Every structure is written in C-alpha cells, then in structure tokens.
Amino acid sequence: MGEAPDIRTLLGPVGVWASFDSLPSDALFAFAAYAEELGYGALWVNESVGREPFVVLGALARATSRLTLGVGIASVHARDAVAAHAGARTLAELSGGRFVMGLGVSHRSSVELRGHDYGPPRAVLTAYLDAYDAAPWRGPDVADPPLVLAALGPRMLALAASRAAGAFPFLVPVSYVEGARRTLDEAARAAGRLDRPALVVAQLAILGSGPQVLEAARGSVGRYVAQPSYRDNLLRAGFAARDIESVADDLVDALVATGDVTALRDRIGRLHAAGADHVALVPLSVTGQPADRATALACAPR
C-alpha cells in the first residue's frame, strides 16, 4: 500500500462544501464543474439521510479532473468500518488519488433517526478507528487516502491529532480556530507526531448584506445550533446560552460571513491567519439556498 498523499497539497487553501440534497443531480454536477473552473481545491459532500455520499463522490470522481473530493463528514453509524475504509480506498482509486476521507460520530438525533444508539462520542470513534485501521482490503493496491475527523471539543481534536491527518470542525467562529490550532499542535507533540495535523474549517458565507441576508444567515445557523454538540462548543467559545437559543445577531455574524467580495475574502483570510489550513466554504444564496454560484465566485481562489 502506498503512502498517503499530503493532505494540504490535496485540499489547497479553499474548497467548497455543500448539502446538495435539495438540488437535482444535474445541478450538483454543474456546480462541481463550476467549482473546478473557479480553482477551488476541494469539493466536500455531506452525509445526512439524503443521497448516499460515496455513490455521489464516485460519480463526481469521473466527472471532475482536478478538484479533490471529500466526504464531510461520513457518519460512523452509516456503515461498518470495513465498508467505510473500502469506500475511501475505492474513491481514492476512482479519483486518481484526489480524495480525502472524513469520519465523525454525527449527532444524537441523526443517529437515532438511523435507528442506532448514540454512545459516548470519543469511545465510539476510537473503536471505529481501530476497526478502520485494521480493515481487510482485497482490492487493488491504492494509496490510503488521508483521513480527517469531525471534531469540536479538545478531546476530539486530540483524537484527530493522534489518529488522523487532521480535524474538521464545523460551525465555528474565527476565535475558536486559534484555540483549536493550539490544541491540535499540543496533542500532536504529546503523541510524538512529527508533522502538523491539518485543520479544515467550514465557513458559511452569503454574498450580500441587509436584513434579508441577515435572516438567511440566521436560518442557516439555526438548523445547527440546536444540536447539543454545536451548542456546547459555542458555549465553550464564550457565547451566552441565551444568545445561542435566540440565534442572536452577534452569533450569526461570528458564524456566517456576509457582505461584499472584500468582506468574504477577509473572513477566509482571518481563518487562515488563525491557523486553518483549508477553509471549506459553504456558499449560500441571499435566501439561504445551498451551492450558490455568486458567493462561490466571490470567494474563488482565482
């Protein structure tokens, strides 16, 4: 088995992340081509109870040529570790090495929706990683793709530093990124790791300003903050419980980049300066629709 390709080289500084389930598949493929044309380093596909992400990524692997593809994030409750690792290796092969794997424990409500029990996150993920690393593979010889773990709190970040190429926190402010960078680096040193773990950060963004955009931004955040793991992480980041509950303006500003081209690019720059290696932009329209082209164009690397 070959060496894992370097994750920073694979991802580049900026990628796009989208939840495509509300879009027809033609729109999904057209958006992937658009992201590739705009010079984005990566396209991340999520896992929910919509389309099966590995199937989508397999088709995307053949429909794109430069873009790195990532699953952000595959739920450990969706398939056993052997199937997950086989999927990751298959995608690495189909894409010619342009794939980054992502794993996470998901959220209690999503796990229960699947009919599973939500166990202690760190223990569940550790056991899954043991099985993932030990998974038998009788497919063709292919370099194992790099792995990122969905992580928010310090213990999960530490697990990513010791067991994966990097961490992928979602729904975080710039101030969180600095702390996460330190936590990752310290945990990597403690684990005797020589390279620096990669920090991949999602950033919701809307090109536009004014009351309609603020409400779209609030709506995009509101879907997530009710989840205990996001809520706990925002409490740790210093937001007041009442501001999280009411999805206050300050919270929305911290989690969703809005404004003109300069403002959006400035937010991406601040995430990089705070220690993010890769920003997975979540481009939303002024009404909060996913995979928005204007926002993607505004933040395009070239």
Partner 1 sequence: MAEVRFGAQLWSQASDWPGYLGAAIAAEAAGWDSVWTWDHLTAIQGPWEQPIFEGWLAMGAFAARTSRVRLGLMVAANTFRGPGHTAKLATTLDHASGGRAVLGIGGAYFEREHDAFGIAFGRSQGERLDWLDESVGLIRRLLDGERVDHDGPAYRLHDALVLPRPLQAHLPILIGGGGPKKTLRTVARYADAWNTNGTLEDVLARDGILREHCATVGRDPATIERTLSFPVVLRDDPAEAERAYRSICAHNGMEAITSMPVLLGSPAAVADRLRPYVERGFATFIVRLPAPYDAETIARIGEVRAALAG
Listed residue (199, 195, 264, 251) closest to 222, CA to CA: 251
Q: Does 270 bind partner 1 (CB under 8 A)?
A: no
Q: Does 261 bind partner 1 (CB under 8 A)?
A: yes
**One residue of 4, 30, 63, 214 binding partner 1 per CB under 8 A:** 30
Tell me how far the alpha carbon of residue 287 is from its chain's centroid. 22
**Token pair 């569940």: residue:** 124
Q: Does 296 bind partner 1 (CB under 8 A)?
A: yes
The smaller minimum CB distance to partner 1, of residues 27 and 191, is found at: 27
Residues in region 183-222 near partner 1 by CB under 8 A: 207-210
Q: Does 272 bind partner 1 (CB under 8 A)?
A: no
Instruction: Give 245-284 as a 3 state SS string.
Output: HCCCHHHHHHHEEEECHHHHHHHHHHHHHCCCCEEEEEEE
Instruction: Please say whether the beta carbons of 207 and 295 come within 8 A.
Output: yes
Q: Does 297 bind partner 1 (CB under 8 A)?
A: yes
- How far separated are the first and last CA of the chain, in Å rounded? 35
Q: Does 265 bind partner 1 (CB under 8 A)?
A: yes
Q: In the complex, what is the shortest distance from the CB of residue 298 to partner 1, in angstroms, rounded to a whole number?
A: 5
The smaller minimum CB distance to partner 1, of residues 180 and 300, is found at: 300
The smaller minimum CB distance to partner 1, of residues 36 and 47, is found at: 36
The smaller minimum CB distance to partner 1, of residues 27 and 127, is found at: 27
Rg for the chain (alpha carbons), in Å? 18
Q: Does 34 bind partner 1 (CB under 8 A)?
A: yes
- In Å, what is the CA distance from 251 to each residue of 91, 216, 248, 254, 256? 37, 14, 5, 5, 8
Summarize as ranges the residues that interact with partner 1 (CB under 8 A).
30, 34, 207-210, 259-262, 265, 286, 292-298, 300
